[in-house]
Chains A and B, each alone.
Chain A
Amino acid sequence: MPRKIVQPEDGLIVAQNLTKQFGDRVILDNISLAVEKGKTTVIIGPSGCGKTVFMKHLIVLERPTEGSVYFKGKRIDDKEERHLAHIRTQFGFCFQMGALFDSLTVYENIIFPVEQHYKVTDYKALADMVKQKLAMVGMDGFQNYYPASLSGGQKKRVSLARAIALNPEVILYDEPTTGLDPITSDVINELVIKLKRELAVTSIVVTHDMNSAYKIADRIIMFHQGRIIADGNADEIRNHPHDVVQQFIHGRVGEAELAALRLGGTKFETQFLPEDFE
């Protein structure tokens, strides 16, 4: 796929020639991407292709080895931690496992970002805010629960309520439907759509759930081995000519993987019995 040249003004968030290495391992290889305001951009790709690492760069939880990240036209990846606090309040981050503070109740989790950035005096208004945010994700009434007593889907919904506590402009979702049953997954999809519609937020979703991607995406980007190999709307991705894209979206195993399986031995040889080890 020909590499596009992106400028800092091309989108709300722009990654320019982003490269990330952990030791000798290249996780992101010269990624350039502009995220449009008010749209839902979905990043798909196999596990370990660098999707989550890329998303962490957008909020400077990771620093690039090379390249730069811009938010509203201003470079952010080179800023010191203390200058990033204000920028980060404009983002909401939904972590894969929720990342709720397990020593705090649901209520305390949601007021956490508010108390960190504002001097709260009107606790009645704060309680109303929590109620409203929890109602948006269908979790009102769970204020006094601890995260340990919630199911996986409930944790993700509370995590979403916490992410929208400061009315962010951008919400980043890290695999929001992973590990959930199909119905709960669809509830999360509807929530993503609802938040975009009602709060007009820009959403970036990392997932490998294609049903979810087709349903919520305005634009789908596919990562493979740290590079972008496909970029377009749902129809363009469905009809993309690249083999890896077709294999991924149809959940089909590739010839290379099959060859690797065959190398593992014949069917007979792999049927070890416990007594073979005696």
Chain B
Amino acid sequence: MIETLGQKTIDSVVNLGNFSRFTAKTYGAMAQTLFKPRTYPLIWAQMYTIGVQSVPVVMATGAFVGMILAIQAYGQLASMGLEERLGVLINIAVVKELGPVLAAVMLAGRVGGALTAELGTMNVTEQIAAVQSMGTNPIRYLVAPRVLACLLLTPFLIIYADLLGILGGYVISVVQLKINAGAYWNYSAIGVEMWDICTGILKGFFFGGAIALISCYKGFNCREGAQGVGEACTEAFVGCFISILALNYIFAVVLDAVYKTFWPVRSLL
């Protein structure tokens, strides 16, 4: 048992080291890619697949989050006569936490799974080795455009999720639950600061980067056969999901500290 535990620990450390090297190589390749206009078409193509085609599912996720929050919170707030504060509750939850996290989780499932399956299949059919054998760096050709596209577009997808979350919450609160629209927006405007919106969007860069890096890494290192690709997809999704939650926790701690530090000089900023 001790032997198994030791072996698993060694494997985890080796895996982490390999992932770190993969990440470093990817960032190096991304820097090169940005200065080579010839490679831009690869990024546009990935942006279409990863970003544009994800808009409907991300919007649907955001809308349902806002609508469900309105339904669930209304009863509690109404019993205290605070139903007009529903707007601030929904909107701050959506822009700060639920919009970014659930949009990222949706992307991890849609984009992460597809990236791992595509690169994993390329790996087992020797297409990645073929890229390498022709003198092209597979990380520059295959990984860098995907990571760049995911990293740059996740914040925009989060904006879509936020917008639809706010709209969904508004429709249920004002149209269905008959809350006064003016009061709904007034309390929201007081409660939700620009800081909350910006931090939510900022998270998108990190979530997007983590999703693409983990998915591409798993695809590049998947085992032979259909089962190998399937396992890699599962591992990639679980890895992405845990990373999103862990990164979100780190953000909560760090951004809270930053906010408290700058609170006294807020008006100057």
Contact = CB atoms under 8 A, between A and B. Distances in A.
Nearest to A82: B137
B126 interface: yes
Interface in B127-142: 127, 129-130, 132-137, 141
A167 B27 CA distance: 33
A93 B137 contact: no
A82 B130 CA distance: 16
A102 B127 CA distance: 9
B134 A89 contact: yes
A112 B42 CA distance: 13
Interface residues of A, number: 27
Contacts of A59: 133
Given A99-B125, A119-B38, A84 B135 contact: yes
Contact of B136 (A85, A93, A99, A102): A85
Contacts of A81: 137
B126 A99 contact: yes
B132 A99 contact: no
Contacts of B141: 116
Contact of B125 (A97, A113, A119): A97
A240 interface: no
A93 B133 contact: yes
Nearest to B129: A61
Nearest to A117: B135
B135 A116 contact: yes
Contacts of A262: none
A97 B126 contact: yes
Contacts of B38: 119
Contacts of A117: 135
Contacts of B129: 56, 61, 95, 99
A99 B131 CA distance: 9
Contacts of A119: 38
Contact of B134 (A82, A102, A112): A112
A102 B126 CA distance: 11
Interface of A: 56, 59, 61, 81-82, 84-89, 91, 93, 95-97, 99-102, 112-113, 116-117, 119, 162, 166
12 contacts: A85-B136, A89-B134, A93-B133, A95-B129, A95-B130, A95-B133, A97-B125, A97-B126, A100-B130, A113-B134, A113-B136, A116-B135
Q: Which 3 A-B pairs have the closest CB atoms?
A: A88-B135, A99-B130, A85-B135
Interface of B: 38, 122, 125-127, 129-130, 132-137, 141
Given A59-B133, A93-B134, 20 more contacts: A81-B137, A84-B135, A85-B135, A85-B137, A88-B135, A93-B133, A95-B133, A96-B126, A97-B125, A99-B126, A99-B127, A101-B122, A102-B125, A102-B127, A112-B134, A113-B136, A116-B134, A116-B135, A117-B135, A162-B134
